[in-house]
Amino acid sequence: MLELAAAEVRAALRPQTGRDWSVPAGSLSWSCRETAVHIAHDLLAYAGQVAGQPSTAYLPLDLTVRPSASTDDVLDVVLACAGLLAAAVAGAEPSARGWHWGPTDPDGFAALGVNEMLVHTYDITSGLGVSWAAPAALCSAVVDRLFPDSPAGEPFAVLLWCTGRAPLGDRPRRESWTLRAALS
């Protein structure tokens, strides 16, 4: 799942790296570049949680991408962090638990990572004026794991609604939401 999401990110964003990524990423206040760095940051943080298995908080680490990094370099960092999370998830025992607002298994962190990649790739492509839609199977997997009470509908549209990016039918755009990655 993580590898497929990373391939989608690569296919959607690599052709756009020559464009101006200082523009806002869709409806976000971040620029497209800042949003890409955010994706990488979260993927690295999730990999750390899976590998380190802390039980009460996030590990005190951060990601810094050099200001001089090109947009191609920033995308390479995103893809590298996706690979780190994929490797951490693949190497973890199913019983492993890290912390994400409660004990979260490797599959939960995988869903969190895929969500970050899909939703923020949408934000970046929207900011760049590029039409892009995430694959239904990836969206369904994320929605099923992170938003179990979500309404029925086309998976990408449901994911965008769940994450406050778009209305869904007669449901207005959400102002807030909660990801449920932790196991009960």
pLDDT per residue as tens digits for the range 44-58 = 999 999 999 999 999
In a domain, 87, yes or no: yes
Number of domains in the chain: 1
Per-residue pLDDT averaged across 134-158, rounded? 97
Owning domain of residue 62: 2-130
What's the mean pLDDT when you consider all of the chain?
97
Virtual torsion, Cα 116, 140, 170, 163, nearest 10 deg: -10
pTM of model > 0.85: yes
In a domain, 162, yes or no: no
Q: Give the CATH number of the domain where residue 79 resides.
A: 1.20.120.450
